[in-house]
């Protein structure tokens, strides 16, 4: 497994990261353990979780993912070997995360409550990478890197970024968090956090976790240059477009047990033009004699600005394919074929 530097932290992370959002919903504790065992056996040293998980978010299941990861860390005695990443929710109408049933906000009381709960569930006294799952400020659309801009009005109770960084600085100083990261952020958001850190207002952002795949390359339009020049790592999520890039949903197929069949929450990947793009990329992969899932993951893992590709699976066999992407040589011919489709199809799933 290739290792890559995580921003300016001095830490190195595996080119593939284990995503855990299915643990506690689609995957049992035992299945989660099997995935974590397999991942570390293949050289993975970073797990990504969130207080939100598992997906879909529900009050009945919230926190189960971190609990399963925490049980594994204790049972296997591997805490020192794993770079543990988790996330605090951003602005949200969901009320089941906080003891007082308040809507989600990135305020000092809520962040402090969130981190203490995550530490308990994860059975650890520190988190290596604590990420803001999405911004506190209202944004054009989830993901904060839209292809069409709108101008959302600021919220009256919006917590300034400077204040959020100060709260996170308290956690770093206390030793409960080692490094901080962003998620679903824009170029402006990343640069603003960096500028304030340089002005001494809080810790420096080590990473940003955004969606990136063959059907969503919006990261390249502004964030890629920001991250390369500022040494901020991309932790890329949804490399398979929630399964669509495997080809399993082609021609209206609805496999039993699939995320779409279970939850019907894939609207981000069901926009006009998406089906045609999926068909093109699946065809290209097969033309090269490569499994479409392996091809799509290899594209993401091979990008020079990707620090780690967050792969998710509901079975060990799926995870084996995802892990293998680190060893695939993405050739110039593959690159040209992909770019030709992108020129025609663009980013149908931002």
Residue indicated by tokens 């906080």: 98
Dihedral sign (CA 189, 195, 125, 82): positive
* 152-156 CB contacts, 8 Å cutoff, 24+ apart: 155/91
SS3 216: strand
Compute the distance between CA of residue 185 and CA of residue 190 in angstroms, rounded to an integer. 7
Q: Specify whether the CB–CB gap between 240 and 296 falls below 8 A.
A: yes
Compute the distance between CA of residue 266 and CA of residue 245 in angstroms, rounded to an integer. 13
- Residue 303's alpha-carbon distances to 103, 139, 313, 326, in angstroms, are 37, 27, 21, 11
Q: Which helix (H) or strand (E) holds 233?
A: strand 233-237
- How would you classify the pairing of strands 46-48 and 16-19? parallel
Compute the distance between CA of residue 68 and CA of residue 153 in angstroms, rounded to an integer. 39
Compute the distance between CA of residue 174 and CA of residue 192 in angstroms, rounded to an integer. 24
Q: Which helix (H) or strand (E) holds 46?
A: strand 46-48
Q: Specify whether the CB–CB gap between 246 and 231 falls below 8 A.
A: no
Query: Among residues 83, 102, 73, which one has the least CA distance to residue 44?
Result: 83
Rounded to 5°, angle at Cα 227 from 222 and 231: 160
Query: At residue 163, what are phi and psi to the nearest 5 degrees?
Result: -70, -40
Q: State yes or no: is 130 an active-site residue.
A: no
Q: Which helix (H) or strand (E) holds 209?
A: strand 205-211
> Which of the residues are catalytic?
53
């Amino acid at each position: 497994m290739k290792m890559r530097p995580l921003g300016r932290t001095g830490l190195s992370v595996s080119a593939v990261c284990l995503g855990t959002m299915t643990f506690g919903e689609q995957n049992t504790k035992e299945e989660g353990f099997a995935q974590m065992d397999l991942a570390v056996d293949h050289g993975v040293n970073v797990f990504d979780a969130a207080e939100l998980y598992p997906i879909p978010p529900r009050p009945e299941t919230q926190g189960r993912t971190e609990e399963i990861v925490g049980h594994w860390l204790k049972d296997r005695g591997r805490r020192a070997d794993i770079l543990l990443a988790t996330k605090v929710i951003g602005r949200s109408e969901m009320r089941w995360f906080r003891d007082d049933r308040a809507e989600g906000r990135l305020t000092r009381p809520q962040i402090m409550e969130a981190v203490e709960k995550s530490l308990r569930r994860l059975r650890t006294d520190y988190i290596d990478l604590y990420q803001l799952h999405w911004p506190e400020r209202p944004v054009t659309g989830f993901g904060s890197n839209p292809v069409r801009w709108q101008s959302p009005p600021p919220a009256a109770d919006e917590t300034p970024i400077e204040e959020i960084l100060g709260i996170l600085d308290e956690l770093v100083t206390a030793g409960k968090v080692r490094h901080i990261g962003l998620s679903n952020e824009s170029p402006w958001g990343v640069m603003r956090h960096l500028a304030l850190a340089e002005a001494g207002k809080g810790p420096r952002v080590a990473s940003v976790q955004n969606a990136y795949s063959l059907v969503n390359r919006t990261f390249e339009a502004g964030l890629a240059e920001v991250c390369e020049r500022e040494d901020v790592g991309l932790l890329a999520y949804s490399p398979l477009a929630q399964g669509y890039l495997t080809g399993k949903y082609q021609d209206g197929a609805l496999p039993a047990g699939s995320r779409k069949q279970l939850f019907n929450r894939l609207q981000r990947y069901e926009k006009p033009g998406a089906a045609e793009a999926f068909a093109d990329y699946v065809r290209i992969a097969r033309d090269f004699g490569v499994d479409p899932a392996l091809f799509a993951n290899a594209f993401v893992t091979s990008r020079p600005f990707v620090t780690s590709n967050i792969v998710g699976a509901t079975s060990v066999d799926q995870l084996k394919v995802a892990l293998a992407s680190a060893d695939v040589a993405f050739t110039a011919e593959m690159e040209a074929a992909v770019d030709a489709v992108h020129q025609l199809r663009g980013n149908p799933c931002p």
